[in-house]
Amino acid sequence: MGDSLTYKIIRAHLASGEMTPGAEIGLRIDQTLTQDATGTMTYLQFEAMDLPRVKTDLSVSYVDHNMLQTDFRNADDHRYLQSVAAKYGILFSRPGNGICHQVHLERFGKPGATLLGADSHTPTSGGLGSLAIGAGGLDVAIAMAGAPFYVPMPRVVRVLLTGKLSPWVSAKDVILEMLRRLTVKGGVGKVIEYTGPGVACLSVPERASITNMGAELGATSSIFPSDDVTREYLAAQGRVEDWQPLAADPDATYDETVEIDLGALVPLMAAPFSPDAVHPVAELAGTPVQQVCIGSCTNSSIRDLETVAAMLRGKTVAPDVSLTINPGSKQVLTTVARSGALGDLIAAGARVMDPGCGPCIGMGQAPASGAVSVRSFNRNFKGRSGTDDAQVYLAGTETCAACALTGVITDPRDLGAAPVTETPASFQADDNMIVRPPADGAEIEIVRGPNIQPLPTRGPLEGEIAGEVLLVTGDNITTDHIMPAGAQILPLRSNIPAMSDFCFQRVDPTFPERARQAGGGILVGGENYGQGSSREHAALVPMYLGVEAVIVKSFARIHKANLVNVGILPLEFADAADYDRLAQGDRLRIVGVREALREGQPLTVTNETQGYAFQATYDLSARQVDAVLAGGVLNLIKAQA
Ligand code: MIC
Ligand code: SF4
């Protein structure tokens, strides 16, 4: 029996553990990436490890999320990141160079390499055959220190692609179809591996749109083989030497198979407020649209912008629509500027902005009250756009441009013949906005503005956890619910005390005050708790507010790892029915915690308010138990040193 591509790359990077699905493995990491919103915490943690230099083959620090610079804080963060990069041997991608995932795909992603990124959409580089995984900042800091990354050995899903996309149907529709079938928790614990004859019809940026949004399935990663199409892409990037052919063995075995006939797909769209609320565009057609946003790490490639330009050429954006465009990178922007497509976009009335995340993370361009916004992005969680009651839909670039032209949700197939765009044979590959570190950074001073506050810490886990249930949430709670982003809060990413005022702001604005009054407590949630962003702030801030345990029906992977990393105990209901009995304000007590964790025994949780007890379990490796007992991974590392 042969290996899947996922198994081949894992086998080549296995540092510890058995390749049994669900069991913890240690993976050697070749490359890391960070972005500014998660980067400051990551590097504060790397600094705490007291090493002279990173030990990876390549580490890149990108600035792409927060570039509004409404005051000194944001610019201070950029300066801090640039100085840290120079000191520790990290490449620094300057603001304006583009979205981390797009730039990494263009300039650094490598078939067969492992990439760990402090951002959930890191699997974008899976589009060229890299095993790319998103993680919390501390895990990335540890990888930069040369230690393995620990993750449950994934199950591997084979997606067999057959046929060929019809005109007006794009790669985005492939991943929306996956979300329609598997839902936002369908990928948890799995790597999604794309195979089959349909693969060859997809370009690398199209493959990357698909692997990017595998994050919305909750998947550990998504990956395409490295073939002639990959070779051509890398050659056009002037780095054909990074290419190697890679694919699953012909007799590879998989845990699951999903079949998609590309030819049978139609333009799809995710309705508010979840990326898996997928419908054919035709079903939603006619709804008036007030905003269209094109960009984000999912759909901001040269192909995307050339397609929009071809559709808009000589026309004008509908009078009630504001169309914004964020190119994915400087390379994309320069290419469309030189080809003339940029002129077509501007002439048609598009508002062209910085290459960066922009409206995707609520950094400007918040829609009007109750407005319908159609976006080529990957997340439409309530309030993420900056407007609580905005109705955000997710679609491919073709559908977005069609809506911008007509002012209503429009199936692009109603517009006649699809535009034909040409991919340039070589790209504007210029790394002049990447600052390379000096050979020796010992003399470099790290520059810290007043917004960069020290990391909060906690002591070891006590033998007894007692406290009140601070909040009971439903299923699929995202890290955007726990720790929102946006223009008001992102500048505080290096300042946990200041961020804590916004914890669970959109779920219950009284939460931070109540948590402080109660001196901490316990959180309760449903299925897939903590899906979405990798931001470790969603664990650090509750820890700072005194949360000691989170009890849920199930966790999303990255958030659970982040809880362990900061020393919050992640527990699961042994019987999901117990979730229904708990109420906010109930006092819970768990005794003998340390012994039970050491022996791998379930915990008994006594509800003192209602007078009953229930069982809670946990799925933690021995390493994770040690981390929780120590009060977090940094405490553990210090103790071991
Ligand atoms: C996101 O898309 O939510 C982000 C912002 O890129 C996050 C990272 C962050 O919160 O800084 C992610 O996806 O991990
Ligand atoms: Fe940036 Fe949006 Fe991509 Fe996150 S999902 S990295 S905010 S573009």
Q: How many beta carbons lie within 10 A of that of residue 248, not counting itself?
A: 21
Q: Which of 378, 373, 382 is nearest to 403 (CA)?
A: 373
Please tell me if the domain spanning 268-414 has the same topology as the one spanning 465-640. no
Helices then strands, each counted (H, E), the chain: 22, 27
Kindly state the helix (H) or strand (E) to which residue 563 belongs, with its residue range. Answer: helix 557-566
Respond yes or no: is residue 65 known to be catalytic: yes
Instruction: Return the structure tokens found at 393.
Output: 């839909």
- Under 8 Å between Cβ of 246 and 111: yes
- Ligand 2 centroid to Cα of residue 294, in Å, is 12
Distance CA 277, CA 393 (A): 9
Interatomic CA distance for residues 495 and 513, integer angstroms: 18
Q: Is-contact 104 113, C-beta < 8 A? A: no
Q: Would you state the pLDDT for residue 422?
A: 83
Task: Name the residue ranges covered by the structural domains of the chain.
Answer: 5-264, 268-414, 465-640
d(CA 469, CA 584): 5
Which stretches of the chain drop beneath a pLDDT of 70? none
Q: So what's the pLDDT on residue 638?
A: 86
- What pLDDT is attached to residue 108? 98
Which residue's CA is the closest to the ligand 1 atom numbered 12?
Answer: 533
Check if the beta carbon of residue 366 is closer than 8 Å to that of residue 342. no
535 C-alpha to ligand 1 centroid (Å): 6
Q: Is the dihedral of CA 467, 470, 473, 476 positive or negative?
A: negative
Report CA 539 to chain centroid distance, whole Å.
15
119 assigned to active site: yes
Q: Whose CA is nearest to atom 13 of ligand 1?
A: 533
- Active-site residue, 493 included: no
- Tell me phi and psi for residue 446, to 5 degrees: -80, 135
Q: What is the CATH number of domain 5-264?
A: 3.30.499.10
The catalytically annotated residue of 121, 303, 481, 535 is 535
Report the C-alpha gap between 133 and 113 in whole angstroms.
11
The one-character DSSP state at 543 is H
How remote is the CA of residue 106 from the centroid of ligand 2, in Å?
16
Distance CA 385, CA 390 (A): 7
From the CA of 361, give the closest atom in ligand 1.
5
Q: Which residues contact 168 (CB under 8 A, 6 or more apart)?
A: 267, 398, 411, 412, 413, 415, 418
| Tokens 């993680």, located at residue | 135
pLDDT of residue 52: 96
How far is residue 183's CA from residue 185's CA, in Å, rounded to a whole number? 5
Tell me the CB-side half-sphere exposure of residue 93, using CA atoms within 13 A: 33
Residue closest via CA to ligand 1's atom 10 equals 535
Residue 21's pLDDT is what?
98
Quote the CA–CA distance of 205 and 306 in Å, as a whole number.
13
CA distance 49 to 473: 36
Q: Give dist(CA 141, CA 149) in Å, integer.
A: 10
**Which ligand gives the minimal distance to the CA of 41?**
1
Query: 187 alpha carbon to ligand 1 midpoint, in Å?
Result: 18
Which of 64, 77, 242, 586 is flagged as catalytic?
Answer: 64
Of residues 28, 52, 49, 16, the one with CA closest to residue 635: 49
Q: Give domain 465-640's CATH superfamily.
A: Aconitase, domain 4 (3.20.19.10)
User: Which atom of ligand 1 approaches the CA of 480 most closely?
Assistant: 3
Closest Cα to atom 1, ligand 1: which residue?
A: 533
Residue 64 annotated as catalytic? yes
- Give pLDDT, residue 631: 97
Task: Name the token pair of 3.
Answer: 């290996």
CB count within 10 Å of CB 197 equals 12
Contact 557, 189 (CB under 8 A): yes
State in Å: Cα 505 to ligand 1 middle. Answer: 17
Whether 375 is a known active-site residue: answer: no
Residue 101 CA: nearest ligand 2 atom is: 6
Report pLDDT for 425.
79
Q: Which of 533, 554, 578, 586 is catalytic?
A: 533
**Cβ-contact 590, 466 below 8 angstroms:** yes
Answer for the pair 476, 274: CB distance below 8 angstroms, yes or no.
Answer: yes
The Å distance, Cα 284 to ligand 1 centre, comes to 28
Asked whether the beta carbons of 296 and 415 are under 8 A apart, the reply is no
Residues 6+ apart with CB under 8 A from 338: 428
DSSP 116-177: EESSTTGGGGGGGT-EEEE--HHHHHHHHTTPPEEEEPPEEEEEEEES-PPTT--HHHHHHH
Task: Name 58's bridge partners.
Answer: 31
268-414: what fold? Aconitase; domain 3 (3.30.499)
Of 296, 57, 337, which is closest to residue 175 (Cα–Cα)? Answer: 296
Distance CA 268, CA 281 (A): 5
